Amino acid sequence: MEGQEEMKPKYDSTHGKFHGTVKAENGKLVIVGKAITIFQEQDPVIIKWGDAGAEYVMESTGVFTTMEKTRAHLKGGTKRVIISAPSADAPTFVMGMNHEKYDNSLKIVSNASCTTNCLATLAKVIQDHFGIVEGLMTTIHVITATQKTIDGSSGKLWYDGQGAAQNIIPASTDTAKAMGKVSIVDLTCHLERLAKYDEIKKLVKQLISWYDNELGYSNRVVDLMVHMASTEVKKQIRLLAD
C-alpha cells in the first residue's frame, strides 16, 4: 500500500502536485499529520466503521446505491450513509434546493449526481421566476474512470469500448465530449408563462453552467454531511432543553 497510496495524493494527473506531506504507516494514510484508516474490503459489512470512529460514511463505489445494499455500512457501526450517486429508493437531497427537508430520522440519503447538483441550481432560478413545464438537458461530461483511453472491448455496448478522448460516446447521462477538468450542462426548457429575453438576462447570464464533477461534487457531499450533523446537534439541544 505504501508506494501506491502515497504517490496518488502527491501526484495527481489533473490537479498536479500536492505540496503537503503524505505517508503511509501502520495501515493508515497520514496526510498533513491527519491519519486516515484504510480498509480494503469488498463487503461493507466487514468494515468496522464504529472502531474507526466514522459516524458518517460516503458510499462512493457506485455499487451500493440502494437502501438494502447500503444498510451494510450501518451494520459496521456508522450512524449515517450518504450515497454519492442517484439512488432508486433513498431520499435525495441537493444543497440549496431541498436540504431543509432533511429529517434526522433518515439513516441513508443520496446526494444525487454531480449533474443534478449543477442542473438544479440552474433550473431553480427559472422555476422560481417563470415556472418550468418541461425541459431537455444535455450534459457534456468529463472523462470518467470507467472509460477507456484507447479502443478496446466492452462487455455491454460496443461503443463504450472506444477511446473516450477521441470519440463522442453517447450514454444515459448524454456524455458527449471529453473535457479536462469540468463538465457542462445545457438546459432547454418550456416555461409556464411568457418571459422576455431581458427578464431572463437579469436572472442568469447564460443558460450554460460548468461543474467540477469530482472536487466540486465532493464539497457538496461534505456540505450535506455538515447539514445533517448540525440537524442532529440541534435535535439533541432541543431534547436537553425539554
* Active site members: 114
Neighbours of 239 (CB within 10 A): 8
If you ran DSSP here, which 8-state letter would residue 162 be given? S
Residue 151 CB-density burial (10 A; 0-12 exposed, 13-18 middle, 19+ buried):
exposed
Distance CA 44, CA 59 (A): 10
Neighbours of 33 (CB within 10 A): 8
Distance CA 118, CA 212 (A): 9
Distance CA 221, CA 242 (A): 32
Assign 235 to helix, strand or coil.
helix
Distance CA 151, CA 85 (A): 27
Task: Please count the helices (runs of H) and the strands (runs of E) in the chain.
Answer: 6, 11
